[in-house]
Amino acid sequence: MEKTNHMEYLPGMENIGSEIQNKIMEMTASFNSGDFTEEDVCRALEKDVCSPRDFMALLSPAGENFLEEMAVKAQKERTAHFGNSVYMFTPLYISNYCENGCVYCGFNCKNKIRRARLNEAEIRAEMENIAATGLTEILLLTGESRKYSDVEYIGNACKIASEYFKLVGLEIYPVNSEEYKYLHECGADFVTVFQETYNPDKYDVLHPVGSKRVFPYRVNTQERAVMGGMRGVGFGALLGLDDFRRDAFAAGYHAYLIQKKYPHAEIALSCPRLRPTKSDGNINPGDVDERRLLQIICAYRIFLPYSGITVSTRERAEFRDNAMKIAATKISAGVDVGIGGHSTSEDKGDGQFEISDPRNFDEIYRALSSKGLQPVMHDYIYV
């Protein structure tokens, strides 16, 4: 079967005519990381406000020699804007059916894994058990399948979540702005979408089938979510799929552009690296080692000082705790990437990837407290 053009919208996909994609592509194409010197990094660190080019310098190989200085500046910014607070949440996978063929993902529609979708009673049972830990923020996730997890199904899950949690986030397949409006009315506050890679040519190779194949529709997801009334949006690239420096830059610059265009929207960044999956245990983040990952996290904090930064359970416990102390602000706890594991002794469906930090809520709470950090469940009051 002939592959569709990954740069063309499919029927039913809303084209909002945004200029942001072109700006990201043009600026990212100009990022030649080897062109930056140690003097460029020093200048960036001396500034109170970093430009996109300063951000490039911080992400460059030259910036690796200034990781300690970057960490000191990042920690100052973190303390100035977030104090010692760390926000805690947990993800809840409610379905792992997927119609995409992403070559790096455990949910790939061609993978022979156990598929499952939670019904309303099962969703409620999962949420009751999560809420009992003391957590008040939840992130709802699905595989990318409108057939098995349509917008109404997700909306109903949001309504149930609103009974148990103060903040409800979504990490689902991209939808149109009117559908985001509906999900917001159902109780969703925040939408996170990973672009995976901002290199259109590599994106084409990595996404051979499925609606996720359409590159521009995914790029413009956060803007459609804000247009639909969502309070905040999250960004991220899956580091290791392509040139990690360019992808990290593109994700940060994307967030920067949305922040400038929609200053009322809350902005957050995630820094996931490749992890082994059920179908391919050999997947790894390549040259994105922990030192370089910390460089990216610090660069994000310095460039976007007001943004939230999440470090997921893909990373080791010690790394996550230290990253929270230096630059990151949000951490997941009690994570189960399978389907149904919070209320039963065994997942009904297989997980998306392997995790490195299996600690429960209490263990992470104690670890953060021991470092002088203050775990926070939520900071919103609804009237």
Query: Mean pLDDT across the stretch 108-115?
Result: 87
pLDDT value at residue 276:
62
Tokens of 1: 């079967």
| pLDDT above 90 coverage of the chain, percent | 83
Task: Give Cβ neighbours of residue 210 (< 8 Å, ≥ 6 apart).
Answer: 98, 99, 100, 101, 102, 109, 144
Cα separations (Å) of 10 from 14, 156, 182, 211, 218?
Answer: 9, 26, 21, 8, 12
Half-sphere exposure at residue 64, Cβ-oriented, CA atoms within 13 angstroms: 12
pLDDT value at residue 287:
85
Which of residues 340 and 166 earns the better pLDDT score? 166
The rounded distance, in Å, linking the Cα atoms of 287 and 249 is 16
| Phi, psi for residue 232 in degrees, rounded to 5 | -150, 160
Strand partners, 81: none
Q: Report the largest interatomic distance among the alpha carbons of the chain, rounded to a whole angstrom.
A: 59
Q: Where are the beta strands (DSSP E) in the chain?
A: 85-95, 137-142, 167-171, 190-192, 232-235, 266-270, 308-311, 330-332, 374-376
The rounded distance, in Å, linking the Cα atoms of 337 and 353 is 7
Nearest residue to 183 (alpha-carbon basis) of 224, 226, 152 = 152
The rounded distance, in Å, linking the Cα atoms of 21 and 285 is 26
pLDDT value at residue 338:
79
pLDDT value at residue 342:
78
Mean pLDDT taken over the chain: 92
> Taking a C-beta distance cutoff of 8 angstroms, is the pair 125, 345 a contact?
no
pLDDT value at residue 281:
47
By the 10 Å C-beta count (0-12 exposed, 13-18 middle, 19+ buried), 163 is classed as exposed
Q: Residue 341 pLDDT more than 80?
A: no
Query: Mean pLDDT across the stretch 346-351?
Result: 61
Which of residues 366 and 338 earns the better pLDDT score? 366
Q: Residue 65 pLDDT more than 70?
A: yes
- Kindly list the structural domains of the chain, giving each domain's residue range(s) and its CATH number in brackets, ordered by start: 20-375 (3.20.20.70)
Task: Give Cβ neighbours of residue 211 (< 8 Å, ≥ 6 apart).
Answer: 10, 13, 99, 100, 144, 173, 217
> Taking a C-beta distance cutoff of 8 angstroms, is the pair 314, 72 a contact?
no
Query: Mean pLDDT across the stretch 317-344?
Result: 89
pLDDT value at residue 107:
85
Give the tens place of pLDDT for each residue, 12-48.
Answer: 999 999 999 999 999 999 999 999 999 999 999 999 9
Query: Mean pLDDT across the stretch 155-182?
Result: 98
Neighbours of 272 (CB within 10 A): 21
Q: Which of 70-74, 121-125, 343-347, 372-376 has the lowest mean pLDDT?
A: 343-347
Confidence of residue 277 (pLDDT cuts 50, 70, 90): low
pLDDT value at residue 382:
53
pLDDT value at residue 155:
98
